[in-house]
Amino acid sequence: MIDNINEIYILKYLGYSTGRVAFIAAFGILMAGISIPCLFVKLMPRWIAITGLILAACAELSTFSLLFYDATILLPIPRFESFIWDFVRINTCEIKADGILTFDSKA
């Protein structure tokens, strides 16, 4: 058993920072890394790329929950909506037989 209460809090925050916050921060960088090139090269519809950038910004802002408790309200926003964004992104793009990634501009 841990006798010191401070050691318990250290372990709690270590698990918190390497779990939820680290996942959301890494996924935010991934969303930005996908959205920015696709916005410039037009590999996906513009609204999907901009939504990805907004979710990525929200994901990176949610890392402030390590410092401020009020920022924890941002944690579920990029976590769940990013999976919806990823599903929509995957279903709007298609890879043709020659390996070129395109999207239907009517979507």
Which tens digits make up the pLDDT trace of 2-23? 677 777 777 777 776 677 788 8
The predicted pLDDT at position 52 comes to 93
Q: How confident is the model at residue 107 (pLDDT cuts 50, 70, 90)?
A: very low
Report yes or no: 6 and 34 within 8 Å, Cβ to Cβ: no
Minimal CA–CA distance to 47: which of 55, 102, 8, 22?
55
Average pLDDT of the segment spanning 54-72? 87
The predicted pLDDT at position 36 comes to 93
Q: Tokens 């996942």 belong to which residue?
A: 23
**pTM of whole model > 0.95?**
no
The predicted pLDDT at position 50 comes to 94
Separation CA 28–CA 55 (nearest Å): 7
